[in-house]
Homo-oligomer: A and B are copies of this chain.
Amino acid sequence: MSWLARVHVVLKPVVNDPQGLAIFGGLQSLGFRGVQQVRAGKYFEITLDADNAEEALQRVEDMCRKLLANPVIEDYRLDIDEAQQQIADAV
């Protein structure tokens, strides 16, 4: 069975975010007023096979710890859904 994991990786709130600050500056230059803060993060969509949602969740959490996120400075959160169609079918 095929699952779609949506993973958000964001810097911990106490960590400085130069990319967010650069975007903030860019928005100011473009004339956008009233922006208080911009935080930049990463977003991944991972399609994977697993017997059930529990197993898919555990596997993707493992991926986050080992590759996708740096636990020292980043937090991650993820949700799992049934994939709408098998990617393999489309190939």
Query: Which A residues form the contact surface with B (CB < 8 A)?
Result: 2, 8-10, 20, 23, 26-27, 30, 32, 34-50, 59, 62-63, 66-68, 86-88
Given A42-B41, A68-B23, also A34-B63 (CB < 8 A): no
Report the bound CA distance from A7 to B8 in whole Å.
11
CB-contact partner of A41 in B23, B43, B50, B62, under 8 A: B43
CB-contact partner of A42 in B30, B42, B59, B68, under 8 A: B42
Report the bound CA distance from A71 to B87 in whole Å.
24
CB-contact partner of A63 in B27, B40, B67, under 8 A: B27
Instruction: Please give 12 more A-B residue pairs, beta carbons under 8 A apart, in addition to A32-B63, A36-B47, A38-B44.
Output: A8-B43, A10-B43, A23-B44, A27-B63, A27-B67, A30-B67, A34-B50, A34-B59, A35-B46, A37-B45, A40-B42, A42-B42
